[in-house]
Amino acid sequence: MARIYAPTSPEITEQEKNHMERVRRIAAEGMVLLENKGVLPLRADGRALAVFGNGVRKMVKGGTGSGDVNSRTVVNIEQGLEDAGFSIATKPWLDRFDQACADYGAGYMAEFQAILQEKGFAGVNWALENPYRDPAVPEITREDLAGTERDLALYVIARTSGEGADRKLNPGDYELSEREIENLKTLTSYYEHTVVILNVGGVIDTKFLRSQKGIDAVLLMSQPGCAGGLALADVLTGKVTPCGRLTATWAENYADYPSAESFSYLSGNLDDSEYREGIYVGYRWFDSFGLNPAYPFGFGRSYTEFALSTRRVEILGGAIRVTVSVKNTGALYAGRETVQVYVSQPQGKLDKPYQVLAGFAKTKKLAPGEEELLTVDFSIPSLASYDEERAAWVLEAGSYEIRVGTHSRDTHIVAALELDETVVTEQLQNKVRPDCELPGLHADPDRFYTYLSESAEKAAALKLEIIPSTIPTRTAHYGAEAVEMHTEKTEAVTLTDVLEEKATLEDLTAQLSVEELAALVVGAERGGLGSVSAVGAASAAVPGAAGDTSMELADSRGITNLVLADGPAGLRLSKSFVTDGQGNVIPGLGESAFGNLFDMLGVPAAQRPDGAVDHYQYCTAIPIATMLAQTWDPAAIEEAGDIVGSELEQFGVDLWLAPGMNIHRSPLCGRNFEYYSEDPLLSGLCAAADTRGVQRHPGRGTTIKHFALNNQEDNRMHCNSRCSERALREIYLKGFEIAVKESQPLALMTSYNLVNGIHAANHRELLTDILRCEWGFRGLVMTDWGTTAASEGFQYGSSDAALCVKAGNDLTMPGSQADVDAIVKAVGRELALAELQACAKRILELVLLRAKLQ
């Protein structure tokens, strides 16, 4: 019988209340003010507001799929405004939209239920590929406006997306719909000012919003978690001065993105995705190819003004320190500013982008007239580029210009680091090479973005000399083959023996049979991906959790399971469940993480026995990852991680299947909301902060994902992502590398897709050579759910369970008997016993860690 952690009282706890307040504060810090012609902040005077749009009552707190979180409550925008003292003058229009959504939703659910009746649980894939979207908003008529005050209207544009499907380059998704445009025209012709609020998880086209006269403010509220309406009201009323900054470039036109035509379904080929833009992703592309964005990377406005002054740039050993004075020069509002430091690397054998982010820091809240000195530190080797011919990270000779500013189109040269010879900072071996020829993209410095004072800044910049001999060269050492473990112990060794130091973990591992080892490295859901409980409800002890490791050795060896839970914006668990008098969970009772899915499948409801006990698992929906990154505040992100870590402890979950940290290669990726940024440095530092917050709680850990090149959702399980090694190392792996080296996450999840011709879960060069040997990762590697499932009808097949083990992918999830059988059969053939033992031992290390804390 599994231990049950969930409380039996349905009453809201002090921890829940505390977490809601923390989410409110963090979310407000991540909102980005894009436009403001003096209309914001609003006076909190209790007036009646005209509020329209699809996100007012149906505010999107986060994405769909595994990104969802089942919170007790979600405070929407209407509730947040009313809590701030406003009344809503347009409730009849909002009621009309509610009814339209109810009618449309009934039709969608009827279609979904028919598909479930035909296909069973496999029909869930239809919902992932065809996610529910609210219908078009109603027309705003003159009758809807009658009786409202004519000075101001709010219009909320909401978008949602999730795993299994990419966003569409269509009206109502990336673009505004015709109805949204017509409604905004109606509002701007009637009201003196219109404020547009973007309740979106990613980029949308903003041309109309910026060109339409009368739209006097645009606020990106993002997808803010369960206290979003309260946080929005705080920002709109000036209780919080907006200080969020963008973490992706918002283009003037979708066609301006370098991957515009080659992304996902737009390429006409869902089997192969070629990353032809190389290192030129996001602002690196826009700055280097002379394209002006609508909103640049790092951009955000405030209710006040700040003045920056660089005081010092100095070399401290192998690092650079930039000291900047920031002063609030406004007269009315306190606020926070983010200092961003970029570096322009010298053009040499390797072409370089115009600039790359090197570091950043954020002020405390500064009162009008208040000043703060910030320091931004970064290492000199972090400025290196990857040279494929040398298989090395190199600092090429030349001038490294240090730029200070507040976003990527507001940087000014303050110093130049002079290096008179090329230095190898890290000698590696080439790994994960492309399986085809990829045309290289080269930037022409004559097309670089520039500004009037740039030449004068270069001439006047402080010159600092880097002494080549002070920069050490690190050489990676790739591990020898795994060594088979043996023991002299004759009595059966248990985990308790290891805890009591009567035996070692090696003794225990060595005693396990091939069958026992195989059971250990395969998840507990022996029914496989197609079973009712395999996705999102596969845990025996924590209903709604994504799955468990094996319990097959619990009686014989004392090896208990690890519980793994989804949710990049908090834990996704069932809100409630029921146990019998002996503490066994009764399937089908309580409020499932899947809502009424099991009823729709025709699964008969269990009878509630005498002595049954109700348990409750109310979790906190934190802001989406993109919004956390928009705070540009590692301390705030660490606090969000701490919220999740405390709930991992509370509910008995060991590993959080987050954070997601793939790069925003295209704005149309369906899961961009789960990911931090287009920039690898920012992504890596955010994931490290998230991990530190979670892992403050002993024995609880993050699972950084999806490793690697998971940058589209359409055909995500069978797409071959093709990328140059330089782009792979500098852009797509760099964030993972930073997170590993800065915070040592307890786990990592591989992606479904192939990486240059080999499935990520089967890629030994990726998982062993790079992740473990080069970066020093010490944790557990697991697959995404169902990576070994059947794959008929696809050009590329699925991962192989035995090859997962051989690659160093320790755990196959959710697990099937076929996976176990394949591993057992492979031992002594393509799979060495030592390789299987190595994977099992890494799982046992986490089980042992958890056991020590109980």
The residues assigned a catalytic role are 784
Q: Are 660 and 706 in contact (CB under 8 A)?
A: yes
Q: Minimal CA–CA distance to 200: which of 361, 34, 80, 343? A: 34
Closest alpha carbon to 713 in 130, 109, 69: 130
Q: Is 408 exposed, middle or buried (0-12, 13-18, 19+ CB in 10 A)?
A: buried
- Is 821 exposed, middle or buried (CB count within 10 Å of its CB: 0-12, 13-18, 19+)? middle
Query: Which ranges of 174-250 does DSSP label H, i.e. alpha helix?
Result: 178-190, 207-211, 228-236
Tokens at 384, concatenated: 């290196």
Mark residue 568 as left, alpha or beta (left: phi above 0; alpha: psi -120 to 50; beta: remaining).
alpha
β-pair type (780-782, 32-36): unpaired
**Torsion angles phi and psi, residue 836, rounded to 5:** -65, -40
- Supply 617's token pair: 């698992």
Per-residue tokens: 116: 């479930």
DSSP codes of every residue in 89-145: TTHHHHHHHHHHHHHHHHHHHHHHHHHHHHHGGGGHHHHHHS-----PPPPPPHHHH
DSSP 4-54: P-S-S--SPPHHHHHHHHHHHHHHHHH-EEEEESS--SPP-S--EEEEEET
Alpha carbons 836 and 844: distance in angstroms, whole number = 12
Query: What residues does 424 pair with on adjacent strands?
Result: 394
Question: Which residues make Cβ contacts (< 8 Å) with residue 243, sequence separation at least 6?
Answer: 29, 300, 302, 335, 336, 337, 338, 362, 631
- CB-based contact 746:703 (threshold 8 Å): yes
* Residues 663/259, Cβ–Cβ less than 8 Å: no
Measured between alpha carbons, how far is 524 from 534 in angstroms, rounded to an integer? 9
- Distance CA(102)–CA(124), nearest Å, equals 21
Rounded CA-CA distance 470/425 in Å is 11
How far is 150 from 155, CA to CA, in rounded Å?
14
Burial class (CB in 10 A: 0-12, 13-18, 19+), 14: exposed
Residue 456: count other Cβ atoms within 10 Å of its Cβ.
Answer: 10
> Residue 104 contacts by C-beta under 8 Å, 6 or more apart in sequence?
134, 135
Sign of dihedral through CA atoms 210, 214, 218, 224?
A: negative
370-401 burial by CB neighbour count: b if 16+ within 10 A, else e?
A: eebebebebebbbbbbbbeeebbbbbbbbebb
